[in-house]
Structures are given as C-alpha cells and as structure tokens.
Structure 1
Amino acid sequence: MRTFDYLRAENTTTAITEAAKPETRFLAGGTTLLDLMKLNVERPAHLVDITRLPGLDTIEISPDVIRIGALAKMSKVAAHADIIEAAPVLSESLWRAASAQLRNMASIGGNLMQRTRCTYFRDPGAYSNCNKRNPGSGCAALEGINRNHAVLGTSDACIAISPGDFAVSLVAFDASVLVRGTVERRIPIDDFYLLPGQTPHLEHQLSSGEMIIGVEIPRVAALKQSHYLKVRDRASYEFAAASAAVGIEFESDGKTVRDVRIAVGGVATKPWRLRAVEDALKGRPIDEATLRTAAAAAVDGARSSGRNGFKIELTPKVVARALMTVGEISHDTEERFRT
C-alpha cells in the first residue's frame, strides 16, 4: 500500500476543496476503497475522511420522493420501517448485499461508487493488461476465466461486471444522484454510470472535487409493489449471477399492467434498465405467455465471452420470476420458469 496523507473534514466545503487536489479520494465506510488500496489497485496520495460531515446520513420520506443521504449506512436504510413499507425493493437490494458487518459500515454513497470484482482488475501484480486499471493495456478477461463477467453493455476493451445491488433498484425507479462540487448537480442514475466503450477507466460522471451527497427516488405507484430477486452461487455473501429489480402498478382490474419497472444486475457493465421488456408488458395481463415473450427481450444485444454464456439463458428467467413474485403468479407457473 502506498503511503498517504489523511484529513478528517469538518464540513462539505473543506471536503470538496481537498478532494479537488490530484490523487485524492474520499473515505467513508472504506469497505471497498481500503481493499483496493491493499491490492495496489487504488493508490491515492491523500484521503479525505467524510464520516463526520453533518446532515448527510438522513432518510427523508415525503408523499412524492424518498431522499437518502450519502452517509446513511446500508443496514440503517435496509431496516428503515418506512422504506420497507414504501419501497421494498430498496430494502431488499441492500440486505441481500454483502455481509451484516459490511452493511453496518458501508455508506450509501460508497456503495454507488464500488468498483468491479473482476479478478484481473484486482490483481495488478499478475495481470498488467487491464484497460480499466491501465488504459490501453488490453483486457485479460476476454480470453481468461470470465464466468462472472458481463454479457450486456460490453466492448472489446472491457467485459467487467457492475457489482452493485442497490444501484440496480435505483435504475429501475428513475432515481437521481445528488452531487455537490463548486455547484450542485442532479444526475439521473442511468446516466451516472458510463458504458466502458474504449474508455473503461471512466466509470461515472463525477468530476474531481465533486461528492455524492444523496439519492432521490420518486414515489411512483410501482415502487410500493416491488421486489429484488438475486440469484447467486451460494445463499449469502455473494455477488449476483443475475438479479432483477422490478415493480408493477396494475389497472383497477388487478390484472392489466399500467406501469412496470425492470432493471437487472450481475449481467452488465452497468445497472441495466430493460425498457423493451417494460414496453412489452404495459397494457397487458401478467400471464405465462406474456411473460415468456416479454422476458426474452431482457438479453437483446447480449454477447457471450465463453464461460459466461449461461447468463444469457438465466437472465430472462430471473426477470420472469421477479415479476411473478410481485404479480402473485401461481407457484406452478414459477416452477416452469426454473427449468
């Protein structure tokens, strides 16, 4: 680990000013940053501790919007009674992530900024060819062990997967990231994360000297009837093989879809909104035939790199199962989607 300077900021103005200096990183829970520093992936010269900044750990719920401060702990948000009632998908995506110990330490802002778990990215000693870490060096994962890599949003420069769960639920429900620097900005979450293209080292829209101060989620009707399904190789403390954040608002008949929100994780280079699937479901009843046809569009444009091809078959099934849970479709139908 590189030697670094440490400063505990007492206010956001100081934090932002210090963060504008070269080779500086913010430190909140540290559950991702410190790991990457130990691996010599992140090598900051300066750390600005923002854990004591006032007013950034609040959770506010109004009739129109949910606002969560960037320093709110994952565990606090997941267990918040009003969040569970108004937006179950947010709670579920948080408590299905990481371990209890990590959720108690990790902040919401830090969670949004976590970086990929690609083995080649995280091992600079063994693999110099990683465009995300060393631009222009190549991508070791393309010809390597890539079972856990992305099939959507990839390029010939990078197939590293976006690892988050909470961000998937935010993308499904049109959340905004609130950012403060010399000015304050509101960035739609779907625009906040960048596709790798030929510049996979550029992962988000934050500029030097900017910090996340919170997220806002509009309280649409589908948010209340929502669910986060995470399929993984083991039952806990594991990243998703595929996941889906979904929500449905029905017409007055209780069967016809008025509004539906769907995003997937574990399969793409950023949290991935499925607007084509949404469009195929709106105005139609949630039945098996409709689900099979609509869910197939979940992997439009998907590309296998070899060992990760199973995700192309898995993803539509995960989407369908999540929708069936929200739509209260029969157990027999759900079982047919497992095979």
Structure 2
Amino acid sequence: MRPLEYARASDVTGAIAAVTADPRGAYLAGGTTKVDMLRIGAERSDLLVDINDLPLGGIEDLPGGGLRIGAMARMSDVAEAPGVVDRFPVISQALLLGASAQLRNMASMGGNLLQRVRCGYFRDRHSACNKREPGTGCAALDGVNRGHAVLGTSEHCIATHPSDLAVALVALDAAVHVRGPDGDRAIPVGDFFLPPGDTPHLEHPLDHGELIVAIEVPPAEVARRSLYLKVRDRESYEFALASAAAALRVEDGRVAEVRLALGGVATRPWRAHRAERVLAGGPADRAAFARAAREEMLPAVPRSMNGFKVEPARRTIVRALETAAEAQAGAGAGTGGRS
C-alpha cells in the first residue's frame, strides 16, 4: 500500500495552496471516481485535500435566464432544481441518466466533468495504456474495444469519454470557471476536454492546483425544449453506446436554430458541428435529420469490435431531433400556434 496524506480544507484559498504545494496533491469532492482510481492504482496522489466544506454549492440565476452552478453542487440537487428542469431540461435528464441515485447523491458537478475513462485497459495496471503511462501504447487498438470511441480518436488512445453531463453542457455552450494560484479564468466547455492526439494523458487544460469553482450556462431560449437521449445495453444504470443532447427551434417548417452534441461514441463530448451545418435553415423533417446524421458520422474510425456504433449513433441523432421537433409542435398547438 502507498502512504496517503489527507487534509480537510476550510476555505478555497487554503485548498488551492495545499494542492499547489504538492506535485502529487489532488482534490477530493464526492470521491465516487477518485477513490476507485487510487485503489486500483490508475492514479497516484500523495495528498488528498477534501473540499466538501467549501462554499461552492448552490445554483444562482443569472440575468437573461442563465445559471451559475456551484462545482460542489450534488448531481441529484441540480437534476431536481426548478431552474434547471424548466430552462435546461437536457441537463436534468443527462444527470438523471448518468448515474444511480446513490451516486448522484454523492457526486459533485465539478467532479463529474473530471471523471476518468472506463476503459478496462486504463484501469488494468498490467495493460499498455498511454493515458495511464505515456509511451506504453494502447492495448485497446487491437483488443476488446466494443465500448470504445469511433470519433476523435488517435493511434494513441480510443477511450470513450464517460460523462453524460458534459455532453449536455457542450450543446449549451457552457463555461467552466476555475480558480488557481494565478487567479480566476473561464474555459469554454468545448475547450475543456482535450482530444487525445499524441498526449492522451493530458485530458484538461488545467494547471496543477486549479480548482473548478462553478459551471456557467448561458441563457438560451431554445434549451427550454431540449432533451437528452441515451442508448445503452440495458435500461438500468449503464454507460452510453450512443447518446445525444438536442435542442431545436423550428419556424415555418425549417430549422431556425439547432444545438446537438453526442456522447458514447467519441473521446470527448462531441459537438455535432457537421450535422448542425447540414440542418441550419433546411427542412425540419426525418430525411433532413438522417442526412445530418450521416454527415456527422462520416469521420468515424471504427475498430474491430465497435464498428456497430456508427448506426446506433445515426439513429440516436435522428430520434433526438424528431423528438425535439415533435415537442415544439405539440407546445405550439397547445398555445394557439405560439412557441
């Protein structure tokens, strides 16, 4: 066993100073992932700084209808918050589908964004994994890769990003607010998850000691009828084979605004820019949705066991967009045609 030092922080400044001072220092929030990583040896830390007492919870309404969500807010609390359910249902649904009730009660919003991949080779210390030990190779390339990514991959890593919440936040153009030894900064969530390239061990643009303090979701009227659709092997708690966060505004039968992001198929939360470009200004019908889905999945690089994911991803995109369009049509009919 490795010796491990534990400290409980009472203020943000002290927590940052403690982790910054130790090259192997790390923060401990809900612990639903961190403890597992330490136990199996996938991560190494000499110091854990417990941040559960820090005043980083809560949800704040922002001007115009946006939200600022504290990094230590629990997933279960955010999923049930009226401002989230009413204005950003895609976030609520992603949280509810992302973990069991027990985990949602413990896991923090910031911790969810930093959770590590579920690749079995990453978690097996005896397997080659560039993410765990740079330069050792990627056993998943020619191994058991059924659950691995087909988008955003490289010859150094094909691990699938696990967060459902992150997919919703990418669709909504949220920002991650962090604080470190050099002050505060905001990172667009689309830039918060790095592509693997030839450095898959670098997952986020965070400097050592930087702490997520909040997530800011900008106002977006289209998000009021957003949704999260998750396809998985079983209905109970399971990671996605393919998922989609979708928001759609239709005017006179044509797509006036669309937000679309994918999960379960990429090495990071995947903003579906190709599909959005196909859809913009075009008809809001099944044929157009299918064209957009085909275009989005063109860059897919399937491996020996995960090629089947391409078709479920296409179907998930189409179903999510159809559901969003039907929801708007139904709302419009119920308000005399206004939406």
Q: Which residue in 2 is equivalent to 1:151?
A: 150
Given that residues 196 and 202 in structure 1 are in contact (C-alpha distance below 8 angstroms), is that contact kept between their aligned partners in structure 2?
yes
Q: Which runs of at least 4 in structure 1 moved beyond 3 Å after TM superposition?
A: none
More deviation in 59-68 or 192-201? 59-68
Given that residues 67 and 219 in structure 2 are in contact (C-alpha distance below 8 angstroms), is that contact kept between their aligned partners in structure 1?
yes
Q: Which residue in 2 is equivalent to 1:11?
A: 11
Alignment of 1:244-283 (within 5 A): 244-251=244-251, 253=252, 255-283=253-281
Q: Which residue in 2 is equivalent to 1:306?
A: 304
Amino acid at match of 2:11: N
Alignment of 1:123-134 (within 5 A): 123-124=124-125, 126-127=126-127, 129-134=128-133
Q: Which residue in 1 is equivalent to 2:334?
A: none
Distance 1:19 1:90 in 2: 30
Distance 1:226 1:87 in 2: 7
Distance 1:294 1:6 in 2: 50
Amino acid at match of 1:318: T
Q: Which residue in 1 is equivalent to 2:165?
A: 166
Q: Offset of 1:141 from its aligned partner?
A: 0.5
Coordinate RMSD, CA, aligned: 1.2
Amino acid at match of 2:326: E
Amino acid at match of 1:300: L
Distance 1:309 1:52 in 2: 45
Q: Offset of 1:64 from its aligned partner?
A: 3.7
- Structure 1 unaligned runs (5+)? 330-339
1:76-109 deviation per Cα after TM superposition (whole angstroms, max 9, x unaligned): 0001122101110000000001110000000000
Amino acid at match of 2:69: I
Alignment of 1:65-214 (within 5 A): 65-124=66-125, 126-127=126-127, 129-181=128-180, 182-214=182-214
Given that residues 7 and 49 in structure 2 are in contact (C-alpha distance below 8 angstroms), is that contact kept between their aligned partners in structure 1?
yes
Distance 1:226 1:61 in 2: 19
Given that residues 2 and 37 in structure 1 are in contact (C-alpha distance below 8 angstroms), is that contact kept between their aligned partners in structure 2?
no
- Structure 2 unaligned runs (5+)? 328-339
Name the structure where helix makes up a greater proportion of residues. 2
Distance 1:160 1:33 in 2: 18
1:54-94 deviation per Cα after TM superposition (whole angstroms, max 9, x unaligned): 2x101012324211000000000001122101110000000
1:253-287 deviation per Cα after TM superposition (whole angstroms, max 9, x unaligned): 3x321110000000000000011111111212311
Q: Which residue in 2 is equivalent to 1:292?
A: 290
TM-score by length of 1: 0.94
Q: Offset of 1:224 from its aligned partner?
A: 0.8
TM-score by length of 2: 0.94
Distance 1:298 1:229 in 2: 17
Q: Offset of 1:300 from its aligned partner?
A: 2.4
Identity %: 52
Distance 1:297 1:217 in 2: 28
Given that residues 78 and 84 in structure 1 are in contact (C-alpha distance below 8 angstroms), is that contact kept between their aligned partners in structure 2?
yes
Given that residues 298 and 315 in structure 1 are in contact (C-alpha distance below 8 angstroms), is that contact kept between their aligned partners in structure 2?
no
Distance 2:166 2:70 in 1: 14
More deviation in 44-53 or 282-291? 282-291
Q: Which residue in 2 is equivalent to 1:219?
A: 219
Q: Offset of 1:17 from its aligned partner?
A: 0.6
Given that residues 286 and 327 in structure 1 are in contact (C-alpha distance below 8 angstroms), is that contact kept between their aligned partners in structure 2?
yes
Q: Offset of 1:2 from its aligned partner?
A: 2.2
* SS in structure 2 of the partner of residue 328 of structure 1: helix
* SS in structure 1 of the partner of residue 122 of structure 2: coil
Q: Offset of 1:220 from its aligned partner?
A: 1.1
Distance 2:274 2:296 in 1: 8
Distance 2:29 2:230 in 1: 26
